[in-house]
Amino acid sequence: MIVFRALLLLSIILFASAASAQVQNFAFQDVYGKTHRFSDFRGKWVIVNYWSPRCGPCISELPTLKYVAHRFRDRVVVLGMDAGETPDREMRQFIRRHGINYTIAPTQDSTMFALGLIYGVPTTYIVSPQGQIVDSRTGMVDVRYIQRHILGR
């Protein structure tokens, strides 16, 4: 029981420090081979979603992420970071089939722990226009969760 409480406390401390951490700049390639740097998105909210096309909840939240990417495209960037090592060709087919309208990056060393530990998918990080991680969630997100951060309500 003591070990469990210690682990729980450590998890809370790590989460709290991650939730206010500045994202270090890192480079990654999207599924089409284009190179991006996280600093390219400075000045916009960035929704970083770690997911896999083999994850049911990840697929279920695609409409939310597509809506946010379209509706708030002037102030928000959505990044889908594959955590399932999906082959690029398969991922490109998945993107077309599901009409994904935001950047998808295949599994890469530079992306896997760039924002913090991933305990499962989907995991979403909300990054402010100043590059601060303001929140993260393991599990599905909805439009209200994202709007609460980007619109302040």
For 70-123, give the DSSP string. HHTTTTEEEEEEE-S---HHHHHHHHHHHT--SEEE---HHHHTSSS---SSSE
Question: What's the average model confidence in pLDDT over 17-32?
Answer: 86
**H/E run at residue 29:** strand 27-29
Per residue in 29-88, pLDDT tens?
A: 999 999 999 999 999 999 999 999 999 999 999 999 999 999 999 999 999 999 999 999
Tokens of 4: 């469990």
Q: Does the structure show a pLDDT above 80 at 7?
A: no
Residue 9 pLDDT: 39
CATH number of 2-150: 3.40.30.10
Report the C-alpha gap between 107 and 119 in whole angstroms: 15
- Helix and strand numbers (H, E) in the chain are 6, 7
| Dihedral of alpha carbons 96, 98, 103, 105, sign | negative
Per residue in 96-131, pLDDT tens?
A: 999 999 999 999 999 999 999 999 999 999 999 999
Cα 45 to chain centroid, rounded: 11
Tokens of 127: 């990054």
Q: Does the structure show a pLDDT above 50 at 13?
A: no
Question: What's the average model confidence in pLDDT over 24-32?
Answer: 97
Residue 152 pLDDT: 86
Q: Does the structure show a pLDDT above 90 at 133?
A: yes
Q: Does the structure show a pLDDT above 70 at 2?
A: no
